[in-house]
Structure 1
């Protein structure tokens, strides 16, 4: 069996893909999967499912949802279940089951190591495979509690780091011109993320478009000043200086 949490939650059992239509049950299973092999207390589960003010029937409701999840995850012909009752709450045991989150973190870590060591082709391979596991938004509009909210924040940041590192690795391989359009898109979608502006400036500069690279700096500077009241960081300023200096020579 394999759990997939990097997008809408699904459980893949052989050729069968199982999804959950009931929102509260999906929230419960997502929380247990994210915290797999750890006990999640009933109080924590209440917060994830209902927020700060769970109803009086929360304990009974949680018991019903746990039963539904156990039924969903039970292998045919067996009573064994990966969802265990462990005071003060419940725990989902992975055992030999797969989890896309573990694959993602392994690929991201491997990509970082390759990038640090100058192994750019393997780095590109690792980052691309990690990003391919991310299938879309996680449990849209369902994150009441800190576990799911924290996971969503972490995943968004990890995906952006993965994308930045992928662009760095591709540029180290000399693919500047091919990356310009992707970097325009990324810097527009994430206007406060200086790394994408820096990469776009580099890609344009190495493609012979110095003027466009300097325009990117001016636009990024304007955005940062208007939105955050700050000047661009040293990395962006250094690239601007490098381009201006080379232009004069």
Structure 2
């Protein structure tokens, strides 16, 4: 009776077959490639990455936002047991963070630095070892006229990396610090007319 109700619920107009198939010893749910949020998320991230590479920042922003709208937390927390599922969960979390970083880059290129500052502070607190987030926060702060705060972010990131891993910041983070110290023109937002 339950399977019958599920079949009715999942039946779509124009489809002759239900996605629920009887197959010994039970039932199988057959989904198309575009019916899982995971596959849609992956496709949207790839599209957004292409837009970002081609400097179509408005389209990249919209595509990354659509990808992140599919995200539901917590991810597989109640079913993640074993190395394969835990590995998949880790991969998905990394893919989400990468999407957030690319979305932030596209928003920075659109001049949305002021609206990013608070989110980036939160993200750097949640992920203190992700140097790209610190670099993005430094740039956003610099563009808001907050050079001292931007340099403070660098010092805090450097201290964390040293204490946690015994490492100095990556080259991109060091380059950002130098550019801020010298008020490098390349940090300014150049809007095409």
Secondary structure, counterpart of 1:246 in structure 2: coil
Q: Which residue of 1 aligns with 2:71?
A: 134
Q: Deviations over 1:220-244 (max 9, x none)?
A: 0000111111110000000001111
Q: Which residue of 2 aligns with 1:152?
A: 89
Q: Please, which of 104, 112, 124 is the counterpart of residue 41 of structure 2?
A: 104
Q: Please, which of 167, 183, 186 is the counterpart of residue 120 of structure 2?
A: 183
Q: More strand by proportion, 1 or 2?
A: 1
Residue 179 of structure 1 deviates from its aligned partner by 1.1
Q: Is 1:232–2:135 an aligned residue pair?
A: no
Q: 1:168 to 1:154 in 2, by over 3 A?
A: same
Segment of structure 1 superposing worse, 197-206 or 96-105: 96-105
Q: Please, which of 168, 172, 175 is the counterpart of residue 105 of structure 2?
A: 168
CA distance in 2, matches of 1:81, 1:135: 23
**Matched-pair contact (CA < 8 Å) for 2:76–2:89:** no
**Normalising to structure 2: TM-score of the pair?**
0.81
Residue 185 of structure 1 deviates from its aligned partner by 0.9
Q: Deviations over 1:15-67 (max 9, x none)?
A: xxxxxxxxxxxxxxxxxxxxxxxxxxxxxxxxxxxxxxxxxxxxxxxxxxxxx
**Matched-pair contact (CA < 8 Å) for 1:83–1:93:** yes
Q: Is 1:74–2:7 an aligned residue pair?
A: yes
CA distance in 2, matches of 1:83, 1:146: 29
Higher relative contact order (CA 8 A, sep 6+): 1
Which residues in structure 2 correspond to 1:88-127 (within 5 Å)? 92-95=29-32, 98-127=35-64
CA distance in 2, matches of 1:223, 1:142: 33
- RMSD over aligned CA atoms reads 2.9
Q: 1:116 to 1:80 in 2, by over 3 A?
A: closer
**Matched-pair contact (CA < 8 Å) for 1:82–1:94:** no
Secondary structure, counterpart of 1:74 in structure 2: helix
- Runs of 5+ consecutive residues of structure 2 not aligned to the other structure: 185-193
Q: More helix by proportion, 1 or 2?
A: 2
CA distance in 2, matches of 1:136, 1:113: 26
Residue 151 of structure 1 deviates from its aligned partner by 1.9
- Runs of 5+ consecutive residues of structure 1 not aligned to the other structure: 1-67
CA distance in 2, matches of 1:229, 1:209: 28
Q: Is 1:202–2:139 an aligned residue pair?
A: yes
Segment of structure 1 superposing worse, 95-104 or 128-137: 95-104
**Normalising to structure 1: TM-score of the pair?**
0.64
Q: 1:73 to 1:168 in 2, by over 3 A?
A: same
